[in-house]
Amino acid sequence: MNSPAAGNPGKHPKGLFVLFFTEMWERFSYYGMRALLVLYVVNGLMMTDGYANDGVYGSYTGLAFLTPLLGGYFADRLWGNRRSIVVGGFMMAAGQLLMFFSASVYTNVPLAHTIMWVGLAVLSLGTGFFKPNISSMVGHLYPKGDKRLDSAYTIFYMGINLGAFIGPLVCGGLGNLYDENKNPIPEAFKWGFMAAAVAMVFGTVFFIFLKNKYVVDPEGNGIGIGPNKNNIKNEEGLKRESNKSSFASVALWAAIGLTMFFVFRYVGDLDYIGCFIFSVAIAVSGLILFDQSLTPSERGRVIVIFISAFFVIFFWAAFEQAGSSLTLFAERNTNRSYEVHTSMGNVILFILAIAVVLYYFLQRMMDIPSELKKLFAGLAIAAVILAIYYYIQGTAYDLKEIPASWFNSVNSMWLILTAPFLSQLWQFLGKHNMEPSSPKKQSFGLLLLAAGYLLIAYGVKDVVGTVSMMWLLGLYFLHTVGELCLSPIGLSLVNKLAPARFTSILMGVWFLSNAVANKFGGRLGALLPSQGPTQFLGYQINNLYDFFMLFVVMSAIAAALLFSLSYWMEKRMGTVK
C-alpha cells in the first residue's frame, strides 16, 4: 500500500515540495530583512558604513551560520529535525518582530540599537535550529544511492532562492522608501521587518500541518521525528569513545578554541564576535576530525567535506557583499532611474502570470500536495479579484526609481531562471558518465565568481558618477551560475559523504564555513573606500576598481587551488561524485 506521499514515481516526492515551500518562506524572511539591514543601520540609526558592514552585517550573518552547529547537535542528540525546525521558525518570527520594534523607535538610537541586537541574537539562534535540519532532511526522502539527489538539492535550492527573490521585493518595497528628494524615509523600515515576521509564521505553520503526512522516507516512515543518534547504525562497524576520552577531547579542543580567541583578539585585533566565530570554527573542526569513533574511510570522507568547506569560505566572503557593500554601491553609485506608469491591476496580473509559469515547471519536476494545490488555486482566484478591484478603482502604480534593496533579488531571479537548466545538465552528464566531481564543480563556481567581479571592475574603471545597473545585473548573473556550481552541490556532498550519525552536525559544519565567510566578508566589505583609502594586507584600495579587483584575485587563486586538490579529494570520495 502506497503512502500519501508516494505520488508519481517519475517525479520527486511530495515531501520535497513541503520542504521546498517551508524553506522558501524562511528565506523570504531572512533575505527580506537582510536587504534592509545595512540600509537601516546607515540611514535609520545614522551609523558608519564600516560599522554597518562589519560590526552589524558581518557579525549577524556570521552568527546566523554559526548557530546551526547548536541546532544540528540538538537534532542529532535531543530533539530530532522536526521539533528543531518548529522551534527555530517561531524564534525567527520573534526576532523579526523585535526588528520591527527597533525600527519603530529609531529616533531613540540607544534603545533602537539595543533592541536591534536582541532581535539579531534571537534571529541567529532561530536560524541555527531551523536551517541545518531542513536541509539534512532532503536526502532522507530518497533511497540510498538515488541519482536524483543532486537534482533534488538543486530544486530545493531553487526554493531557497524563490524566497530570497520575493523577500527583498516585498520587504524592500514596504521598508526601503525614498522621498521626493531621493532621501531615505527611516519611518518605513519597520514595515519591511513586519513583513519578514509574517512570512516566517506562515512557513512554520504550514510545515506543522503537512510534515506528518508528506515528510517521509521511501517506505512511508516519518523523517526527523526523534534524535538521529537513536536511529543510526554505522555500517562499517562503529567504534565508540569512552566517556573519559570523549570528555578529554572536548576539554582539549575547548582549550585550543579559548586560546585562539585571545590570539584573534589581541594579536589579530578582531572584534569579540569575530574572535568567537573564528575560534569556534577551529575548535569544532578539530573535535570532529579527531573523533575516535570515525573509521579511517569515514575520516577520509570527512576531510573532503572540510577541504570543500574551507574553499567555499572564499566564495561566500565575496558573494555575500551583495547584502553589504554591493547594496551601498547600488544606492550610491548605480543609476537606478527606471520609470513605470501603469495600473496596479496590471502589476497583480503580471505577478500572477509569473507564478503560474513557475508552478507549471515545478509540478513537472515534483509532486505537489493536494492541500497546497488548493491554497495556490485560492490565491490565484484572490489575485484576479484584487486585480479587477484595482481596475474598477483606477488605482495606478508609479515607480520612478528602483529601491537599492531590490538588487538583493537579482541573484535569486537569475537562479530561478537558470537552476532548472543546470539541474537537467547534471542529470544529462550523469547519465553519460561525464559529470564533473563535486570539488571540480565548486572550483568552476569560484572561477565564475572572479569573472563577475572582473566584469564590474571594468565597468567602474575611470568612471566618475553613477554607472549603469547593467553592470550589477551582469555580475549577479555570473555569480548565480557560480553559486549553482557550488552551494547545492556542497549540500549534496555533505549528505552523501557524512557518516549517518553525523549528518546534521556536519551539515552544521558546512554552515560553519558560511559563518566564517560572512564575518570575513563583513571585514572585506568595510574596506569599501567610501570615506577614504583603505588597506588589506598591504594592498592599497583607493577606489571601487581597486576594491573589486581584490575579490577577483582572491577568488581566482582559490579556484585554482581547489581544482588542483580535486584529484586527491576524488580518491578519498570513492564512488561518490
pLDDT tens digits, one per residue of 150-168: 677 777 777 787 888 899 9
* pLDDT above 50 for 180: yes
Q: How confident is the model at residue 242, as a pLDDT? A: 46
How far, CA to CA in Å, does 85 sit from each of 76, 278, 518, 550?
A: 13, 26, 23, 38
Query: If we measure between CA atoms, which residue out of 317, 398, 387, 316 comes closest to residue 355?
Result: 387
What confidence category does residue 551 fall into, taking pLDDT thresholds of 50, 70 and 90?
very high
Q: How confident is the model at residue 504, as a pLDDT? A: 64
Cα angle, residue 27 at apex, residues 21 and 32 outer, rounded to 5°: 130
Cα angle, residue 313 at apex, residues 144 and 251 outer, rounded to 5°: 80
Average pLDDT for the chain: 86
Q: 337 forms bridges with which residues in the sheet? A: 401
- Of 22-26, 338-342, 449-453, 537-541, give the range with the top mean pLDDT: 449-453
Query: If we measure between CA atoms, which residue out of 11, 8, 64 comes closest to residue 361?
Result: 11
* pLDDT above 60 for 237: no
* pLDDT above 80 for 448: yes
Q: Are 277 and 313 in contact (CB under 8 A)?
A: no
Measured in Å, how far apart are the chain's first and last C-alpha atoms? 34
pLDDT tens figures, 375-401: 889 999 999 999 999 999 999 988 888
* pLDDT above 90 for 126: yes
Please provide residue 270's backbone torsions phi and psi, each rounded to the nearest 5 degrees: -90, 160
Q: What percent of the chain has pLDDT over 90?
A: 45
* pLDDT above 90 for 436: no
Q: How confident is the model at residue 236, as a pLDDT? A: 45
Map residue 356 onto helix, strand or coil.
helix
* pLDDT above 80 for 4: no
Cα angle, residue 226 at apex, residues 223 and 227 outer, rounded to 5°: 110
- Of 300-304, 453-457, 463-467, give the range with the top mean pLDDT: 453-457
* Lowest pLDDT segment from 102-116, 339-353, 544-558: 339-353
Angstrom distance (rounded) from CA 280 to CA 25: 29
Q: How confident is the model at residue 245, as a pLDDT? A: 53
What confidence category does residue 235 fall into, taking pLDDT thresholds of 50, 70 and 90?
very low
What is the DSSP secondary structure assignment for residue 216, as one 8-state letter?
A: B
- Of 39-48, 179-188, 408-417, give the range with the top mean pLDDT: 39-48
Map residue 534 onto helix, strand or coil.
strand
The stretch 528-542 carries a mean pLDDT of 89
Q: Which residues contact 43 (CB under 8 A, 6 or more apart)?
A: 184, 186
The stretch 276-288 carries a mean pLDDT of 89
Q: How confident is the model at residue 155, as a pLDDT? A: 78
pLDDT higher for 410 or 425?
410
Which amino acid belongs to residue 456? Answer: I
What confidence category does residue 431 fall into, taking pLDDT thresholds of 50, 70 and 90?
confident
* pLDDT above 80 for 220: no
Angstrom distance (rounded) from CA 98 to CA 190: 10
* pLDDT above 50 for 557: yes
Q: What is the CATH number of domain 14-220+293-336+402-572?
A: 1.20.1250.20
Query: If we measure between CA atoms, which residue out of 156, 263, 197 comes closest to residue 489?
Result: 156
The burial of 256, by beta-carbon neighbours within 10 Å (0-12 exposed, 13-18 middle, 19 or more buried), is given as middle
Per DSSP, which regions of 234-288 are E strands? none
Element (H, E) at 186: none
Angstrom distance (rounded) from CA 282 to CA 299: 17
Q: Could you state, in order of their start, the residue ranges of all structural domains in the chain? A: 14-220+293-336+402-572, 337-401
The stretch 240-265 carries a mean pLDDT of 81
Q: Are 152 and 142 in contact (CB under 8 A)?
A: yes
Map residue 250 onto helix, strand or coil.
helix
Q: Are 405 and 174 in contact (CB under 8 A)?
A: no
Q: Are 371 and 210 in contact (CB under 8 A)?
A: yes
* pLDDT above 80 for 468: yes
Helices and strands in the chain, H and E counts: 19, 6
- Of 302-311, 467-476, 531-540, give the range with the top mean pLDDT: 467-476
> Cell numbers 508552478 correspond to what residue?
359
For 16, how many CA atoms within 13 A lie in the half-sphere containing its CB? 27
How far, CA to CA in Å, does 390 sit from each of 54, 171, 376, 393, 397?
A: 44, 22, 21, 5, 10
One-character DSSP codes across 501-523: GGHHHHHHHHHHHHHHHHHHHHH
The burial of 547, by beta-carbon neighbours within 10 Å (0-12 exposed, 13-18 middle, 19 or more buried), is given as buried
pLDDT tens figures, 478-521: 999 998 888 767 767 777 787 777 776 777 677 788 889 999 99
Assigned C-alpha cell, 102: 527597533
Q: How confident is the model at residue 1, as a pLDDT? A: 45
Please provide residue 532's backbone torsions phi and psi, each rounded to the nearest 5 degrees: 115, 170
What is the longest distance spanned by two Cα atoms in the chain? 75
